[in-house]
Structure 1
């Protein structure tokens, strides 16, 4: 970035608070009385499957959807009935929504043109923002002449034009190929840290949310299942839904209580090998002697093997992530008999 971001964006980040917010479409309850506070200057990802209410929540923050019940505060100001343009927010849409007949520069400058700003002044301001997102060299190109990642950068520059305190992003990476998605993930994270404003990003990708967010909010059926740092949400899922949706977890039961063990914490040995286990504690989350299983399938993933294991007692399949250098295809390959166990400190009980 060739110029300081303070010269481009002069606003301060704003807290976002949702108080008992609901959204109803006819008989369907899309968002069910949620409470959420996003501290100013954080990168927050709303994560969940299709239909969980995350996009409706984002659009209510933006003012593009009316609120059935509850209140939204941005920077301690109640904006529940405020128009989108007065909220201090800007939105980057999933489709980018660029004008196909305008150049990148004119797309960014368009709202200034509508407000009657002189041509030289608006093009200067748009040029500064294109420089911010490393798109100066493509200023005169039309959207059809730009790649998906380049179009996204133009859409981001346009959203920043009005110096928002909160930037709202609706699945901004979903249309990109996997390599570009990872590249743009890093760019978004960098821009957020340098600009210092609040980002709220909707995604259904667990990997994307964990990589980007300071705060992950997992939603299901219009409700918040859990919110917290990526490390907290992944390592201490509050509910079985969170554990299963995030992936990388095995959901188990012992003594009438459900708990989870991460796939990379699941130990595996060939049949006949006695597992080395620490003494069981009072939590009762160990399984002395391990669980006899059959290897259903293995999937090579570069640094590790993903192994699907079928317990002989017919309980649900388990997943283990085994480092590549520990995998023995002769003794641990498909159809092999194995024993699976875990250290009790790696078991995490669900709070709900």
Structure 2
């Protein structure tokens, strides 16, 4: 699918197949096209070009209510004058479902998200996490085949965010429907998804399982955005490689380290204690190296036994097998099955 706003290209020929019953996260920085893609799936934006198929049926020409999708908005958009029960029952009411049936279904959905006891409270009487659960119940009451979530956890505090994402994963597994979840949080995408779709400048950079995206990033952008990697162009080698920050070994004397492998002379610029690990930021001393800034993560006990200080000159070394080659050209999105995505 492609989306243009006048001369501006918001989504550039996105081609993606999401297996039925998968939890898919569209991940990327602000302005990368992920929310526009979600809104085109929902029918709240019209694609400039391309096709949208859900369950073998072309739905791109249909209104939102006829697509078999439901959308949970970032703001939750609950009606302030309606209690939880009537908020959840509102969609079936607009579809002409009789009162007894729609209220029964609303109670079932509130029970599913563990909010049945607060059915008669107004949204203003609920916490942010409780409002999020009601909004989720309201989206699910229409029995969609695809649930669309636009940054649903962004308004929650960090502790509650972890609780609610566990609840989302539980519900998705229990219901067996496809979830498509937009987020800019790498941690959120890794924790929730079967399929991570990393987007940049309106295009898909990589689409794969969380483990594949982290262990084998396809492009320099993916390696940098996912985090936990250094992108390096070592002297004497064509192209870029990604090396995980926890796979780099440090020594002071510059001599041959056990295991050998490529190496760079560097200077320690910062040392940050992070509890279970210590992160060091290094500056490469060889001007021929394209990536002059490197990050290294050392276990806390290893660092305590052999600490490094700011301004120490060190040798950074890694195994050749840990240098993953990168491509400047995003690879095509593969047609994956849910079995292939799930470890």
1:101 CA displacement: 1.0
Q: 2:271: which partner in 1?
A: 298
1:336 CA displacement: 2.0
1:311 CA displacement: 1.4
Describe the shift of the 1:329–1:318 C-alpha distance in structure 2 as closer, same or farther (beyond 3 A).
farther
Alignment of 1:121-160 (within 5 A): 121-160=101-140
* 180-189 or 112-121, which deviates more: 112-121
Higher RCO (CA-CA < 8 Å; seq separation 6+) = 2
What is the rounded CA distance, in whole Å, between the counterparts of 2:299 and 2:305 in structure 1? Answer: 13
Q: 1:267: which partner in 2?
A: 249
Task: Describe the superposition over 1:56-112 as per-residue Cα deviations: whole angstroms up to 9, x where unpaired.
Answer: 100001111001001000001001111110110000000011001111111001122
User: SS at the partner of 1:322?
Assistant: strand
What is the rounded CA distance, in whole Å, between the counterparts of 2:227 and 2:271 in structure 1? Answer: 17
Describe the shift of the 1:82–1:248 C-alpha distance in structure 2 as closer, same or farther (beyond 3 A).
same
Alignment of 1:200-215 (within 5 A): 200-215=180-195
Q: 1:310: which partner in 2?
A: 283
What is the rounded CA distance, in whole Å, between the counterparts of 2:151 and 2:210 in structure 1? Answer: 18
What is the rounded CA distance, in whole Å, between the counterparts of 2:64 and 2:254 in structure 1? Answer: 66
Q: 1:337: which partner in 2?
A: 313
1:48 maps onto 2:21 in alignment:
no
User: SS at the partner of 1:38?
Assistant: coil
Which structure 2 residue ranges, 5 or more long, are not aligned? 330-343
Q: TM-score, normalised by structure 1?
A: 0.88
1:122 CA displacement: 2.0
Which one of 170, 179, 184 corresponds to residue 199 of structure 1? 179
User: SS at the partner of 2:100?
Assistant: helix
* 67-76 or 295-304, which deviates more: 295-304
What is the rounded CA distance, in whole Å, between the counterparts of 1:241 and 1:94 in structure 2? Answer: 26
Q: 2:94: which partner in 1?
A: 114
What is the rounded CA distance, in whole Å, between the counterparts of 1:344 and 1:337 in structure 2? Answer: 22
On the 8 A contact 1:34/1:224 being kept in 2, the answer is: yes
1:165 maps onto 2:138 in alignment:
no
On the 8 A contact 1:56/1:65 being kept in 2, the answer is: yes
1:53 CA displacement: 0.6
1:224 CA displacement: 0.6
1:329 CA displacement: 8.2
User: SS at the partner of 2:231?
Assistant: strand
Q: 2:332: which partner in 1?
A: none
User: SS at the partner of 1:71?
Assistant: coil
Which one of 292, 297, 302 corresponds to residue 326 of structure 1? 302
From the two aligned structures, give the one with the greater strand fraction: 1
Q: 1:68: which partner in 2?
A: 48
On the 8 A contact 2:51/2:58 being kept in 1, the answer is: yes
